[in-house]
Structure formats: C-alpha cells, structure tokens
Amino acid sequence: MLPNNALSSQPVISEFLTQWRDNPLIDFELGGIALQDSAAGLNQILWTCSYEDGFIKLSHDQHEQTVLNVENVTALSLGFDLSMRPVIAYLVDEHCYLWWYDTSVSKQIITDLGSGITFPQLSLDERRSVQSSNADVILTYIRNSKMYMRLQRERFQIEHEITRAKRLIQTGSMKNNRFGFAYYNWD
C-alpha cells in the first residue's frame, strides 16, 4: 500500500526481491508453490513470465504453463494476487491489456487499458500475511512522460498520477519491506 497513493518524500534505496529486469518479454515475480495456492505464503518460488511464438507462459523450476495465446506482444509484466492468481499486463501494437481475476464476475478477464501506455509493471505490494488487508496488486506504467498506477482494490479502474518519468524499469517489493520504483526522468 502506498500511503496517499504517493511516493516517499525522500527516496529509500534497497534491492528488489526479484532479479533485475532487462528484457521486456521476460518478467519475474515471487509467489506461492502453485497457481491458486497461497497456503505456504507468497515468497516461496520465483516465477517467470515469458513470451515466445505467440504464447505467454508462466514457469518455475522445471514446470511451464501456457496461460494466453496473443500475437505481437512487445512487453509484458507479471504479478500475483493474494490468492495466487496471475495478473499479466501486456502491450500489443502500442495498446495495453490487463489479464486478471475479476471477483465481481468470478473469472479471469482481459481489460483494455488503451493506447499510449509504455513500460507496464505489475507487483503485489505486500506479501506478509499480517498485512494482507492492506495488500494490492499495483499496475504501474508511463504515459505522456508521467508515471501512473492503478490498484486491484479499485478494479484497476482509477488512474493515479505518481510523478514525472520517461522510463519505468522495475517495480516491486524490496529487501527492506518497502515497495519500490526504479525509473528515470531524463532523455
């Protein structure tokens, strides 16, 4: 949870829990031992989301599962909700889509977020079970040189402006138990 949907007044630097992201078609997120299984906690396994030959896949260790068939994906990002259901943001032809579990209809849906969005990033902001009432999947992205976020608890409907930014590199939980944003605002 980000108090007042705003960044800290002073940057607090720490390493991310997942490895550094360097390919727009591969993302990493910590999660449970299996999809839809959060019983052992959400810091158990490092999951990989990747795109190849028209398929978005989730994998860990030696296990791989195709979750979406989508042509022309140019970027993607992975998050998991508190029930270990995948949330995937992806770009196709400069258009952003979000695949997520909508509790109001009890199924995975695709939400069209429109064009002009770049560098989509997803992550669950709080993994500790004692803080689950404050937890949200956060979708962060750049549009018109500004960084925005949308929250799962708002069904990803409300766009919150965070700061000016040109490029979003990574978001997610950090080793200091804070949620971090790696971005820059220069040409």
| Predicted confidence pLDDT, tens digits, the chain (187 residues) | 565 666 767 777 889 888 888 899 999 999 999 999 999 988 899 999 999 999 999 999 889 999 999 999 999 999 999 999 999 999 999 899 999 999 999 999 999 999 999 999 999 987 756 556 668 899 999 999 999 999 999 999 999 999 999 999 999 888 888 888 889 887 6
Q: CB–CB of 142/122 below 8 Å?
A: no
Task: Spell out the domain ranges in the chain.
Answer: 24-184
**C-alpha 102: how far from chain center:** 16
Residue 127: its H or E element? none
CATH number, domain 24-184: 2.120.10.70
Of how many residues is the chain composed?
A: 187
Q: CB–CB of 83/101 below 8 Å?
A: yes
Three-state SS for 43-73 is: CCEEEEEEEECCEEEEEECCEEEEEEECCCE
What are the residues whose beta carbons fall under 8 Å from the beta carbon of 103, sequence distance 6 or more? none
| Ramachandran region, residue 104 (left: φ > 0; alpha: ψ -120 to 50; beta: rest) | alpha
